[in-house]
């Protein structure tokens, strides 16, 4: 494994960009651990993300997210792939942590049309209420600059399968399997 994968690979981007599936695939290919921040929040609290939002509010969810991001990154002197939730860049402390030059932060970019196709029609994502397209457009408008600021690499995912995106990320990071 080349040098790049010996540092944490952190995937950022909008919901539906494929962070979880692509992250798991890259970790499998490279034979390194995979951590998904949303799943970790759910594991630690024993509650679904949607339940945390409903019972405690978004702020409480963000506080948990920040705490766990800190924990995951501080343990990560060894190789790991970390998939974050789409809102990770909305909190200054998170952006500060992601700006660490030793991390390989990768933005998975996807058009709103692509995201709408990929997202399941369920209620797992509490911010996606009402008109999904306009919610996503407004989230992208408010987050795009921050995603780009924290990302060292940007990978386009439109029209690509999970495997193809995973390959594209590994090519970008120059990690071979
Ligand atoms: C959110 C994205 C979700 C989850 C929560 C909030 C967001 O993660 O953290 O619903 O603010 O964009 P995914 O990006 O994995 O869907």
Residue 51, pLDDT > 80, answer yes
**12, 59, 85, 116 from 132: Cα distances, Å:** 20, 22, 17, 8
Q: How far is the CA of 175 from the centre of ligand 1 (A)?
A: 27
DSSP character for 2? Answer: -
Residue 76, pLDDT > 70, answer no
85 lines ligand 1 (CB under 6 A): yes
Residue 100, pLDDT > 90, answer yes
pTM of the model: 0.95
Q: How far is the CA of 125 from the centre of ligand 1 (A)?
A: 6
Which of 125, 23, 148 has its CA nearest to residue 84?
23
Quick one: angle between helices 162-172 and 19-30, nearest 10? 60
| Separation between Cα atoms, residue 117 and residue 105, nearest integer Å | 25
With pLDDT > 70 as the criterion, what percentage of the chain qualifies? 95
Which of 35, 86, 143 to mutate for ligand 1's pocket (most ligand atoms within 8 Å of CB)?
A: 86
Residue 174, pLDDT > 90, answer no
Backbone Cα Rg of the chain: 15
Residue with the bigger pLDDT between 134 and 77: it is 134
Q: How far is the CA of 148 from the centre of ligand 1 (A)?
A: 17
Averaged over 94-98, what is the pLDDT? 98
pLDDT score at 86: 98
Nearest CA to ligand 1 atom 8: 85
Residue 94, pLDDT > 70, answer yes
pLDDT score at 7: 84
Place of tokens 């390989």: 104
pLDDT score at 177: 52
125 lines ligand 1 (CB under 6 A): yes
Q: How far is the CA of 158 from the centre of ligand 1 (A)?
A: 19
pLDDT score at 3: 58
């Amino acid at each position: 494994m080349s040098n790049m994968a010996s540092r944490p690979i952190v995937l950022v981007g909008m919901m539906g960009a494929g962070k979880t599936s692509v992250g798991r695939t890259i970790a499998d290919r490279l034979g390194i651990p995979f951590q998904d921040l949303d799943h970790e929040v759910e594991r630690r609290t024993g509650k679904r993300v949607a339940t945390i939002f409903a019972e405690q509010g978004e702020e409480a969810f963000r506080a948990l997210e920040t705490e766990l991001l800190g924990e995951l990154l501080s343990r990560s002197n060894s190789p790991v792939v970390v998939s974050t939730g789409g809102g990770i860049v909305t909190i200054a402390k998170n952006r500060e942590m992601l700006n660490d030059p030793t991390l390989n932060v990768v933005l998975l970019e996807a058009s709103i049309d692509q995201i709408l196709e990929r997202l399941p029609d369920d209620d797992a994502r509490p911010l996606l209420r009402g008109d999904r397209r306009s919610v996503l457009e407004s989230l992208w408008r408010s987050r795009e600059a921050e995603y780009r600021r924290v990302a060292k690499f940007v990978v386009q995912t439109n029209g690509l399968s999970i495997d193809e995106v995973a390959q594209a990320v590994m090519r970008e990071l120059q990690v071979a399997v």
